[in-house]
Amino acid sequence: MSKIRSSKFIAVLVAIVFLAIGLFAGRAIFKPADLPPALPPTFFQQADGGTGNWTQKGVFSGTIHEVKNGQVIQDAVRKAVPGDLIRVWPGTYNETVYIDKDNITIQGVIVKGEWPVLDGKKVLNDGFLYSGNGMVIENFVIKDYKGNGIMGQAGNNFIIRNNRVHDAGVYGIFPEYGTNGLVERNVLSGIEDAAIYMGMCDNIDVRYNYVYESVAGIEIENCRHALVEYNYCFNNTGGILAFITPGLPIKTCYDVIIRNNYVFENNHPNFGAEGSIVASLPSGTGIIVMAADEVVIENNIIAGNKNLGIAITDFSFGANMRSDPDSDPNPDRLVILDNLMYDNGLDPSTEEIRTLMSTGVIKRAPDIAVVGNGSGSCILNKGAYQTYGLDNWGQCQIASTASVKTYMLSEPVPPRDVTLEEKGKMTYYGVCSGCHSYSVRMVGPPTQVIQALYKGNPQGIADYIANPARKREDYPEMPPQNYLSEETRLAVAEYMLTVDK
Amino acid sequence: MVAIAAAIAMGCGHEGPSPTPSIIPDGRTEAVQEGFHLAEACPPGFELTDEGVCRLRNLYQQYGSLKDKGVGGLKTGLPPVRDGFAPQQIDLGRLLFFDPVLSKDSSLSCASCHRPDKGFTDGKARSEGVLGLPVGRSAPSLWNVAFQERFFWDARAATLEEQMQGPLFAADEMGNTPEQLLATLNGNAEYVRLFSEAFPDGAKGIALPQVLHAISAFETSLISLNSRYDQYAHGHHAALTQNEQDGLNVFRSFVARCAECHTPPLFTNRELAVIGTPDPDGMPFDQGAQKPTGDTDQRGAFKIPSLRNIAKTAPYMHSGRFATLREAAKFYTEGRGHAVPKGEKLKLHWHIWEPELSDRDLDLLVEFLHTLTDESLMPRIPKSLPSGSSPYTGWEDGIDKFK
């Protein structure tokens, strides 16, 4: 099956190979580097100087809720308010925990090696689902879910730390649409898509994770300012991916540093779901850059990946990829600094490559191969590797990204600064104006009439709208607006008294 | 009463005399007055600024969104909105929207296919134009169209102004021509006066861009952002029952994956997708966005619709193939590409897979989708129109809803 899926990519690769043979007949494969110098890339020096120090401070400032074996974590989430800490003791919890609140920490308590286990029993969809900012999830074993182990939809300033996620479905850890986050010291295996999948995020670090026996180890997709460092990616179908996937609402992926990772023997058979993008990943590929820009690959140990060490490609890579006029398919301004590449391409996964090898054209598949266009890229010491398609790559003018310690920000992303007056105005027009206009009778009495009744008494309005009673024979009774917080009710009351048109 | 209104509508050609407006039920609050007067106040949901234009205000403006794209989770800002129209232009657009004088034979208004009582759709699998025959696709809802950047199921128009010239001037839809439309409007003293009021800087006489502008102004005033779901999203969790919260969790889970394309807060990510829904029996395969783009990758691609007020807009999909939300939801769990005609090679979206949703999952999804209903900012139906026609022309059975 995987042979069929990968055949398109390989077909293109083969075409490039033949082209290379035609153009460079007679030239040695290992010709020493003779490259034009490339301009020094500047993007990673433009980091905002973030320190990520906020992750050390801890965000817990409220009440502790203890959850013991036999209890339900979601019950604690219901009670929790922003700033609270939920401590989950060892035991087995069969539930989907969803958190639509800000600044909640859910922390497993590990006692003598016993962990709290979230077990989906292959019946439940997801382990954790969150949408709030300031989410911390740590110290859980999460297994046997159908969807994701941990999934975030929006939610800035997230920390997902020290979890063990096994056979948790499609993605193991999947924060989406978040800014400023950390995924570290997690162990993941048996995931049928990406074990760690950073989707449409900004300013993220993924570090010290151990991912194995999954289809994709770590995937950075349509993200900006991502640092992928000190991870151990072993025996996945593909180790580390930096992708622009077309057709998503956020179209770019750039400024990604893949540094100091161990990308080792990612030769697992592909067990991705039919139709998924990773289902076309050729087994045995260490690092794959698809369409992403400004990706630095530095100081990784990339070894024993049977197909390719590093594959760089446009959208032709995925058999299932659809064109997107708003996404640039070409990987541009890539930087490959020194990496240890050893024993890659020893047993490429397709017949075509085998044929090339058997005819003696190549001894094995290349360490680094580029398919498609792209410009402004550079490599250090190209001659150290067997490469294809890097002819227009320059010699890098930098040797290290050491100046970048983290891509997280120094402080949490603050909530949007909205004054109470503005909140009152948003509520007045967004909610009240459906029934009240300034001077004309609508469903309810005009605002002018209310102003006359409640002059100088916003609290009176705030109290009334929380618990209205029928006041006028000629108007229907107002429904309670108690879904607005007390603060919002007072803010809108105050605003209502100031409306003048 | 329906019968009376229908009779009035039938007797009301574009040259006909004005019917007695007062017997057309309105039931809302518009004052009965001599002649027409354009509103000086903004419609609900909008603040009248010192510059004299209407700006949308809503609770989602408390939040930001990544890259200002308006996609994410519950407390995520919306995409950029198109607002800033003068109240008079919005109100004039309202009259035009409901006025069948815009069609070739005064038999259909915009509202005939975009009925307020049916989520600004028409309840038909495919809409019917002046010829009385079904057109190619289903009428999309107009709620929250102010946040859209592409129009038509196949996304071939970039603005509302461009879009509405499709139905206005297509022979099988409203069947009009720009010349006839302008002649009709310029021949109506009331409209000439109202246009000069709404466009005080305009040249003498009504011009087509003004007509399109006014209708765009009205359509972008159709805002639905205060459903029970929204109350939950803003933090009032009691707004949804446990079943509805469970349904939300199915909706956003990576098993059903609904939220990956129908992404909050708009419940669309405004992209196109190839999902392979079946066309009605006997209809040829609809090539979707391949036609305007020429791109075979876009074969069968359609705009991802917003799901706000979705419970009001049956039947579902581009040709109304599914009668209920339950059937529409079930489509996604019946196998990737199961309804793709033999021989068609489609690049199905990667989120179309085999989620194996249970009957209970589907029930919960439908329950959740009903929480996206909010019609609190429903515009008023005009009591009468400058043309003298009924504002209910072509949807007389909707009158009852607005009594």
- Partner-chain contact B249 A96, CB within 8 Å: yes
Query: Does residue B294 surpass a pLDDT of 50?
Result: yes
| CB within 8 Å of chain B, chain A residues 428-447 | 428-431, 433-435, 437-443
- Partner-chain contact A154 B348, CB within 8 Å: no
Residues 6+ apart with CB under 8 A from B89: B198, B199, B213, B214, B217
On chain B, the residues whose CB falls within 8 A of the CB of A437 are 41, 44
Distances (CA, A) of B99 to B129, B186, B225, B391, B401: 15, 15, 27, 6, 19
pLDDT of residue A387: 87
Say if A126 is an interface residue toward chain B (CB within 8 Å): yes
- Partner-chain contact A126 B376, CB within 8 Å: no
On chain B, the residues whose CB falls within 8 A of the CB of A325 are 293
Mean pLDDT of B17-44: 57
- Partner-chain contact A129 B253, CB within 8 Å: yes
Report residue A15 as tokens: 């075409």
d(CA A414, CA B101): 53
- Partner-chain contact A250 B69, CB within 8 Å: yes
To which H or E segment does residue A56 belong?
Answer: helix A54-57
Question: What is the bridge-based pairing of β-strands A293-298 and A335-336?
Answer: parallel
Single-letter amino acid, residue B256: A
Best A104, A146, A176, A200 residue to mutate vs chain B (most B CBs within 10 Å) = A176
DSSP string over A326-351: TS--S--S-EE---EEESTTSS-SSH
Report residue A399 as tokens: 């040797």
Query: Residue A241 in 3-state DSSP?
Result: strand
pLDDT of residue A442: 87
The model's pLDDT over B157-166, given as tens digits with 9 standing for 90+, comes to 999 999 999 9
Q: Which domains does chain B carry?
A: 2-62+79-224+380-402 (1.10.760.10), 228-372 (1.10.760.10)
d(CA A250, CA A223): 8
Q: According to CATH, where is 1.10.760.10 located in chain A? A: 420-496
CATH architecture of A420-496: Orthogonal Bundle (1.10)
Residue of chain A whose alpha carbon sits nearest to that of B70: A249
Phi and psi at residue A412, in whole multiples of 5°? -60, 145
On chain A, the residues whose CB falls within 8 A of the CB of B65 are 154, 177
Judge whether A193 and A173 are in contact, CB under 8 Å.
Answer: no
Judge whether A169 and A147 are in contact, CB under 8 Å.
Answer: yes
Supply the Cα-derived Rg of chain B in whole angstroms: 21
Phi and psi at residue A179, in whole multiples of 5°? -115, 135
Confidence of residue B5 (pLDDT cuts 50, 70, 90): very low
Torsion of CA B27, B32, B38, B40, to 10 degrees: -80
d(CA A128, CA A141): 12
Residues 6+ apart with CB under 8 A from A23: none
Distances (CA, A) of A60 to A63, A84, A444, B377: 8, 6, 44, 40
Tokens 């990706």 correspond to what residue?
A: A295
On chain B, the residues whose CB falls within 8 A of the CB of A165 are none
Report residue A465 as tokens: 């709208």
Residues 6+ apart with CB under 8 A from A195: A165, A171, A172, A173, A188, A189, A211, A214, A216, A217, A218, A236
- Partner-chain contact A125 B249, CB within 8 Å: yes
Burial code of A66-78, b = ≥16 C-beta within 10 A, e = fewer? Answer: ebeeeeebbebbe
Residues 6+ apart with CB under 8 A from A44: A255, A257, A294, A296, A401, A403, A404
| CB within 8 Å of chain B, chain A residues 31-90 | 78
Tokens 């915009």 correspond to what residue?
A: B110
Residue of chain B whose alpha carbon sits nearest to that of A279: B350
On chain B, the residues whose CB falls within 8 A of the CB of A147 are 253-255
- Partner-chain contact B271 A249, CB within 8 Å: yes
| CB within 8 Å of chain B, chain A residues 347-406 | none
Report residue B144 as tokens: 């929250």
pLDDT of residue A123: 94
d(CA A5, CA B312): 42
Tokens 């581009």 correspond to what residue?
A: B318
- Region of B97 (left: φ > 0; alpha: ψ -120 to 50; beta: rest) is alpha
Strand partners, A229: A207, A259
On chain B, the residues whose CB falls within 8 A of the CB of A483 are 231, 234, 236, 238-239
The interface predicted TM-score of the complex, written ipTM, equals 0.89
d(CA A412, CA A52): 9
pLDDT of residue A49: 63
Strand partners, A37: A395
Single-letter amino acid, residue B80: P
Residue of chain A whose alpha carbon sits nearest to that of B380: A442
Mean pLDDT of B345-364: 94
B274 or A41: whose pLDDT is higher? B274
d(CA A229, CA A204): 11
Distances (CA, A) of B394 to B188, B319, B386, B391: 22, 20, 17, 9
Of A177, A416, A423, the CB nearest to B73: A177
Supply the Cα-derived Rg of chain A in whole angstroms: 28
On chain A, the residues whose CB falls within 8 A of the CB of B247 are none
The CA distance from B57 to the nearest CA of chain A, in Å, is 5
Single-letter amino acid, residue B323: A
pLDDT tens-place values along chain A, 501 residues long: 344 444 555 554 544 444 444 444 434 444 444 566 666 665 555 455 678 888 877 667 899 999 999 999 999 999 999 999 999 999 999 999 999 999 999 999 999 999 999 999 999 999 999 999 999 999 999 999 999 999 999 999 999 999 999 999 999 999 999 999 999 999 999 999 999 999 999 999 999 999 999 999 999 999 999 999 999 999 999 999 999 999 899 999 999 999 999 999 999 999 998 888 888 888 999 999 999 999 999 999 999 999 999 999 988 766 667 778 888 899 999 999 999 999 998 887 755 556 667 787 777 678 998 888 899 999 999 999 988 889 899 999 888 998 899 999 999 999 888 999 999 999 999 999 999 999 888 889 999 999 999 999 999 999 999 999 888 888 889 999 989 999 999 999 999 999 998
Say if A497 is an interface residue toward chain B (CB within 8 Å): no
The CA distance from B402 to the nearest CA of chain A, in Å, is 13
pLDDT of residue B2: 37
pLDDT of residue B35: 82
Size of interface A-B (CB pairs under 8 A): 188
Query: Does residue B113 surpass a pLDDT of 90?
Result: yes
- Partner-chain contact A429 B225, CB within 8 Å: no
Best A429, A437, A442 residue to mutate vs chain B (most B CBs within 10 Å) = A429
Single-letter amino acid, residue B198: A
Question: Closest Cα to residue A287, out of A236, A338, A245?
Answer: A236
The CA distance from B77 to the nearest CA of chain A, in Å, is 10
Strand partners, A291: A243
Residue of chain B whose alpha carbon sits nearest to that of A483: B236
Question: Closest Cα to residue B269, out of A176, A96, A102?
Answer: A176
d(CA B360, CA A123): 12
On chain B, the residues whose CB falls within 8 A of the CB of A431 are 59, 226, 376
- Partner-chain contact A126 B255, CB within 8 Å: yes
On chain A, the residues whose CB falls within 8 A of the CB of B301 are 322
Query: Does residue B126 surpass a pLDDT of 70?
Result: yes
d(CA A392, CA A395): 10
